[in-house]
Amino acid sequence: MIFVMVVIGGITRLTESGLSITEWKPISGIIPPMNDAEWLTEFELYQRIPEYQQVNQGMTLAEFKSIFWWEYIHRAWGRLIGLVFLAPFVWLLARQLIRRDMIPHLIAIFALGGLQGALGWYMVSSGLVQRTDVSQYRLTAHLMLALAIFGYALWLALSLLRRGMEADPAAARLRPHLWLVTVLLAATLTFGGFVAGLNSGMVHNTFPLMGGRLIPSDAFQIPWSPFEDPVTAQFIHRWLAVATVIAALALWFRRGTLSAEASRPLTLLAAMAIIQAGLGIGTLLLIVPIPLAAAHQAGAVLLWTFALWSLHATRQISARQ
């Protein structure tokens, strides 16, 4: 469900739907407009913000509904994740069916989910007064927290599945290299957030050169360029991605005679790195078609999954874990 949530969030950004709901109602907001009068009220609220006045002036009610539903689905899915998590957790906890050492972790995941909802509104609020879109800083923070929650849940699940298993001793030599891949990937994902927040995919739609040069002449021209300038953000994102792919492939070639358990996620990591690079280049060359860009977002989560799985599969697990 968190995986799907990240993809829906990407589509919400790609369709520029994120500011269509201008209020945060954690409880009553689950009910969408039910009649023409309620739809008109929502539309009138949207017409008060800069995005409508400066970008979407003249939008019809039908067009508004098309962006409203993506933001509504995004918010409703988040609420549903909370319910799907909390109800079984309370039921299992009341019957003492959860290991005691797991309880703090599960509470932490739920709390992070609540924080993510608040951060989502904090992000949306940045685009309701003066800007015509949300802050790229808040959008990136929202994305990275989603990936952190996903990673936390995945790590706990892997710990339960691998409880009592011993890691392949030969895997220890790959751990520094694997951490390098993971750090490069985290940096690439972070700048992916800035690329989305700055609409960087709409500039320099060529690869590998940008404006006919490896380092485009219009990059690094303003203060804080990596976080404020679309060209610079895209330049950093694409070359971090290249470095990640090279590091992942080099890691795969170094795997040697690892056990199947340790080798499998490394193979998936390398394969997904190549696929993700292809999705990214295709998204850029075709000027960000929504289906391909959404697949690129999904690919990022899969790549993150295989990196964390690889880290977990190469660590030593004690019997108590």
Residue 169, pLDDT score: 80
7-63 residue pLDDT tens = 999 999 999 999 999 999 999 999 999 999 999 999 999 999 999 999 999 999 999
For residues 243 and 168, give the distance between their C-alpha atoms in angstroms, rounded to a whole number: 27
Q: Taking residues 215-227, report their average pLDDT.
A: 95
pLDDT at 87 over 70: yes
Query: Computed over its alpha carbons, how large is the radius of gyration of the chain?
Result: 22
Domain segments of the chain: what residues?
A: 1-161, 167-321
* pLDDT at res. 262: 87
Query: What average pLDDT score do residues 132-146 get?
Result: 97
C-beta separation of 277 from 241 below 8 A: yes
pLDDT of residue 96: 95
* Mean pLDDT (whole number) for 100-127: 97
Q: What is the pLDDT of residue 171?
A: 86
**CA–CA–CA angle 44, 48, 53 (5° rounding):** 110
From 57, 53, 58, 198, select the one nearest 130 (Cα to Cα). 53
pLDDT on residue 317: 53
Neighbours of 317 (CB within 10 A): 17
Say whether pLDDT at 320 is over 70: no
Quick one: pLDDT at residue 257?
Answer: 83
Neighbours of 312 (CB within 10 A): 19
How far, in Å, are 89, 184, 230 from residue 171 at the CA level? 35, 20, 40
Residues 39, 318: contact at Cβ < 8 Å? no
Query: Residue 316: its pLDDT value, please?
Result: 62
pLDDT score, position 318: 44
When the pLDDT of each residue in the chain is averaged and rounded to a whole number, the result is 95
Q: Is the pLDDT of residue 149 over 50?
A: yes
**What's the pTM?**
0.94
Q: What is the pLDDT of residue 315?
A: 82
pLDDT of residue 163: 79
**pLDDT at 97 exceeding the cut of 90:** yes
252-281 pLDDT, tens per residue? 999 988 888 889 999 999 999 999 999 999
Confidence check: pLDDT of 319 > 90: no
* pLDDT of 166 over the 80 cut: no
pLDDT at residue 321, rounded to an integer: 42
- pLDDT top residue among 246 and 261: 246
